Structure 1
């Protein structure tokens, strides 16, 4: 090999290009490839680093080598991997002159590493590809494919921080392609990033949307539906989560999945017990079981206790949720208790949530501040009063001197449907109340009633027949 390369030095540039390409083809065509790595190393090193070999010739040799590797002329995968890595290390000092060939080699090396499930190593190889400079700038659609692939590989190793950096780059280019496969992969990365960032409501909605896409394999769609259910269960309790839970419960496919019972209990605002979530906990990924810290202010508020409570063994000593799952379950149980009780003491709520009375009050206060719970707190009486049942009582049809009206309420299990029904009953009750009071006691009542009747008549919603004596 070395003697033949020495002979090439005396040839002119045209003959030298032909000689190098013939030698490369001869090396790749031999039956015994046991020494192939060493021979190609010598050939590439000579072509790249010898000053007598022009840049056009060395680029041609590298292009032929890249083509041969992509066509599988090196049969052993491990040897092909060594050749690619060795060629990249030889070319590295002069990478500016061989950007196109280096990019192709990096794509091939990433393919090999991905097959070996070395996700982070494959992502690192792809990040070294020059996308924005050099001899040939890649189009935006190709850049998007590379970024999405990097994000997907990093998420396989649960490196969500680094993955989010490249996801943000991909998001800027998402408009540049109409290729269905790339867009679906981008949306899946979007859902997984939201999942890892603990934006569980967003993740649940995106997973559920993807679970309906027919182009995705059925098994993958089932996995996405399961991920949507998990994220919905872990999401912060409140009206937004109720909408997501309702959408999932209406999906008949969820009944076949293991988490359906917990999902249904959350949808119906039923209190969850520790033994019920134990099995569900085993299905969670590490980031969904991440520890959460308690702020110094919350810790101080949770530690405040009366002297008679300080030595009470029946009061829990927990000052807050320990994990993401703990917080989701406690917030749900707090919201569920508001459907059961008109009011509850700090101590009683603490016993229900397995928290100190101060920690229970802190959690309720935060949910009320965020408008995820309707109620008020009396810190003097150490009492939390819930507003949900009070609103239902106001709409029971007790106005207008009619007394208590027995009503049969359909249990739809949907909080927003109940709220809509409640508004209708409240409006009807107010109309009944006005109808039984004299006009003189209601400012501008006659004018308002006349206006409403005229509007309904114009819409054709009411009609008046002749009155017979």
Structure 2
């Protein structure tokens, strides 16, 4: 091998090109390929680093090698992987001169690593591809495809922080993409990032939308529907979650899934017991069981409780939720208790949630501040009063300029339908109010209707 390469150095440029091409073809066509990795390494090192070999010749030899690798002329995957890695290592110092060949080799190496389920390694290989500079810039759709693939690979290893960086790059190019499969992968990545970021409400909505896409395999759609249910259960309790729960409960497919019972109880605002969530806890992923720090407010409230009621063994010593699931269940039980009681003491709420009275009051106050719970807190009497009729009173009889009129409402036995109707009435009332203000200021006018 070395002697033949030494002979090539004495040839003119035209003959060198033919000689190197012939040698590469000979190496690739050998029946015994036990030394093929070392021989190709020697050949590539010679054509890239020998000054007597011109850039045109080295590029043509590398292009032929890349083509042979892509066509599968080297059957052994491990040998192909080592050849690609060796070639990239040799070219690295002169990467600017061989950018097109390097990009193709990186795609091939990423394919091999992905087959071996080396997700993060494959993503790092793709990150090294030059997409914007050099001899030719890739079209936006190709860049979008690469970014989505990187995000997908990083999420396989649950590296959501790095995945979000590349997701943001892909989002800038999504409007130029037309490939349906890549767009669906992008939307799935969007849902998974929301899931990992604990934006469970967004994740549930996106998973549920994807579960209806007919192009996706039925088993995958079932998996996405299950993920939507899990995220909805973990989402912060409140009106927005209630709408997502209603949408999932109306979906007839959810009745066959394991989490359906707990989903239904949450939708009907029933208090959940520890034994009911134990089985559900076993289905969660590690990031959905992440530990959460106790807030400074909870710590302060608990310290006050300890001073006031140090001799009362019946009071819980828990100062706040410890996991994402723990917080979701506590907030749900707090919201459910507002449907059962008109008011409740801090101590009673603490016993219900297994929290110190001060920590229970802090959780209720936070939910009231965020508009997820209607009620008032009397800190002197240590009493929380729930206002469950406020939304109905605000919405009733306002639409159409009728004012406060008594309306008879049919009892359909469907509480979620009632809530939906109330939201429609409230929206209509707000629209009517806006129109009235605009009319009074002369900003809009209504002409006579022609017969």
TM-score by length of 2: 0.89
Residues 352 and 393 of structure 1: is their aligned pair in 2 closer, same or farther, counting only changes over 3 Å? farther
Spell out, residue by residue over 1:363-418, the C-alpha distance to the aligned partner (whole angstroms, 9 max, x if none).
Answer: 00000000000000000000000000577799999999999999998776766643
Seen in structure 2, the aligned counterparts of structure 1 residues 49 and 403 have a Cα distance that, compared at 3 Å, is: closer
The corresponding residue for 1:419 is 419
- Gapped runs of 5+ residues in structure 1? 432-449
Separation in 1 of the partners of 2:435 and 2:129?
Answer: 73
- Alignment coverage as a number of residue pairs: 451
**CA–CA distance in 2 between the matches of 1:145 and 1:464?**
51
Query: Could you list the runs of 5+ residues in structure 2 that have no partner in the other structure?
Result: none
Q: Deviations over 1:106-139 (max 9, x none)?
A: 0000000000000000000000001110111111
SS in 2 for 1:377: strand
Cα-to-partner distance string for 1:48-106 (whole Å, 9 max, x where unaligned) = 00000000000001100000001111110001000000000011110010000000000
Check 1:101–1:398 CA distance in 2 against 1; reply closer, same or farther (3 A cut): closer
Say if 1:344 and 1:87 are closer, same or farther in 2 by CA, change over 3 A: same
CA contact (8 A) 1:289 1:324 kept: yes
Q: Which has the larger radius of gyration?
A: 1
Query: In the aligned structure 1, how far is the partner of 2:101 from the partner of 2:331?
Result: 56
Please give the per-residue CA displacement for 1:414-454, whole angstroms capped at 9, x wherever unaligned.
666434666999999999xxxxxxxxxxxxxxxxxx99999
Q: Give me the whole-angstrom Cα distance separating, in 2, the residues matched to 1:430 and 1:146.
A: 46
CA deviation after TM superposition for structure 1 residue 19, in Å: 0.7
The 1:156/1:326 distance shift into structure 2, 3 A limit, reads same
Deviates more, 1:403-412 or 1:161-170: 403-412
Per the alignment, do residues 303 and 456 of structure 1 end up closer, same or farther by CA in structure 2, a change over 3 Å counting?
Answer: closer
Contact (CA 8 Å) 2:120, 2:153: kept in 1 or not?
A: yes
Name the SS of the counterpart of 2:400 in structure 1.
Answer: coil
**Is the contact between residue 297 and residue 362 of structure 2 (CA under 8 Å) also seen in structure 1?**
no
Contact 1:233–1:266 under 8 Å retained in 2: yes
* Aligned-residue RMSD, C-alpha: 5.7
* Secondary structure of residue in 2 paired with 1:376: strand
Q: Secondary structure at the match of 1:84?
A: helix
Higher alpha-carbon deviation: 298-307 or 364-373 = 298-307
Q: 1:3 and 1:81, CA in 2 relative to 1: closer, same or farther beyond 3 A?
A: same
What SS does structure 2 have at the residue aligned with 1:310?
coil
How far residue 312 of structure 1 moved from its aligned partner, in angstroms, is: 1.1
Take 2:225 and 2:389, find their aligned partners in 1: how far apart are those partners?
A: 34
Contact 1:339 1:389 in 2 (8 A): no
8 Å Cα contact 2:70/2:108 also seen in 1: yes
Any idea what SS the aligned residue of 1:372 has? coil
